[in-house]
Structure 1
Amino acid sequence: MVVNQDDLGAVGHEAYMLRDRLSRDGDHARPATFDAAIALTNGNFTSGSELLKVHDRWNSQLRTLLDACARISDHLDYSKSVHAEDDADIGGNLLSVSKISEYFK
C-alpha cells in the first residue's frame, strides 16, 4: 500500500475536524433529554428511566466517537512525522559514500 504525506495529512485533518464538529454539535440534545428524563421520572412515568438510558447511551457513544476521531488524527500525525524522519534517514544514507562505491573508482 502506498500513501503519501498529503493523503495522511488530509485524513488526519478530516478526523480532527469531525471531532471538533462532534464535540460542538453532538451534544445539543443531551441536556434537554436529561431534563425530560428527570421530569418524567419525578412524575412517576416509567418512560423516564428509559429516556435516561437513551441519554446515557448517547453520551457514551458520543465519547467513543470523539475518542476514535482523536486517535485517528493523532496516529496519522505521528505516522506522518515518523515517515518523514525515515525518509530523511534513508535519503541521507543513500547520498552518503558507501564501501561499495569505493570499488568503482
Structure 2
Amino acid sequence: MAWEEWERLKAQAAERHATQMQLNQVEPGMGGAPGAAPGSYGDLRVRQADLARIGEHAFELFDRLSNKGRVAVPSSRQAAGDLTRQGFALGGGLQHVAGRWEEQLDSLRDACAHISNHMRVTTKLHQGDEHYISRQLSSIDVLDAGFDERVVKPGDKNPVYMPHKEQKDD
C-alpha cells in the first residue's frame, strides 16, 4: 500500500466517523436494563487490594517492556547501518522504524510507570483518609464517654439515656 493510499483511506475513515451520530446510552443487551436509573446498577467500589493489584501489573509490564521490548533494537540499528553503507535505501527506512519503535516503547513504559505510581499514591492517600476517619470517630467515642462519666461513675450508663421505669406503689 502506498503512502498516498494510506492517507486517503485515513481521511475517508475520519469523514465517515465525523458524520455519524453517537447516542449517549448503552445498546440494549450490553448491560443494565433499558431505561433503568443509573443508581439501580449499584455503587462503584474500589478496594485497596484492587488498586494494589493494578499497580503491580503495571509495574510488571513496565519491567517486561524494559527487558524484552528493546531486544531487536540493537540488531535493527546495526542492520540499518549495514544496508545504508551498502547503498540500499531500505537502510534509512529500517533506521526510522527502529527509532519509532524506541519512541513508542518509551511512551508505553512511561504510561505503565505513571499507572503504577498513581496506584501506589492513591493507595497511600486512601489509607491516610481511613486512618484520619478512624481517629476522628474514636475521639468522638472518647468525648461521649467523658460526658457519661461526669454524671455517673465510670462504666455506668447515664440515666438520661435510659428509659425510666415506672415504680409500682403497693
Stretches of structure 1 that go unaligned for 5 or more consecutive residues are none
Q: 1-side partners of 2:133 and 2:64: how far apart?
A: 39
| 2:118 counterpart residue number | 75
Post-superposition offset of 1:4: 0.6
Q: Deviations over 1:50-102 (max 9, x none)?
A: 1001000000011111111111000100000010000110111122128x956
Larger proportion of helix: 1
Q: Are residues 1:8 and 2:51 paired?
A: yes
Higher Rg of the two aligned structures = 2
1:13-56 per-position Cα deviation (integer Å, ceiling 9, x unaligned): 00001111110000110001000100111111111101001000
Residue equivalent to 2:95:
52
TM-score, length basis structure 2: 0.57
Over 2 Å off, 4+ runs: none
Backbone CA RMSD of aligned residues: 1.7
Distance in 1, matches of 2:53 and 2:140, equals 36
Aligned to 1:25: 68
Percent of residue pairs identical: 38
Question: Tell me, what secondary structure is at the counterpart of 2:60?
Answer: helix
Unmatched 5+ residue regions in structure 2? 1-43, 148-159, 162-170
- 1:38 paired to 2:87: no
The structure whose RCO (Cα within 8 Å, separation 6+) is larger is 1
SS at match of 2:46: coil
The 2-side partners of 1:70 and 1:5 are apart by 19
AA matched with 1:28: V
Q: Distance in 2 between matches of 1:23 and 1:3?
A: 29
CA distance in 1 between counterparts of 2:74 and 2:45 reads 45
SS of equivalent to 1:3: coil
